[in-house]
Amino acid sequence: MLLKIIFIFLGAMVLIALIGRALFPSALPRVLRKRKGPPVCDSCGRYLIGRKGCDCGGRAK
């Protein structure tokens, strides 16, 4: 009976992790994310560190 509860608990944890990953990929640590590099401006190609937008008005990729 106790084993069953443990397995159900583990299953629930895995399910929550999978759902969380599907819904909030940006909330994951950087190690788990598949990123090719720092965010780069879409129009001028400058690196955008700590910002969402660029001075030229472009958006980060």
| Interacting residues with Zn ion (CB under 5 A) | 41, 44, 54, 56, 58
Q: In whole angstroms, how close is the CB of 36 to Zn ion at the nearest point?
A: 18
Q: Of 10 and 44, which CB lies nearer to Zn ion in the complex structure?
A: 44
Least distance CB 53 / Zn ion (angstroms): 8
Q: Are 48 and 54 in contact (CB under 8 A)?
A: yes
Closest CA to 41 of 16, 13, 61, 21: 61
Q: Which is nearer to Zn ion, 8 or 44 (CB)?
A: 44
Furthest C-alpha separation in the chain: 63
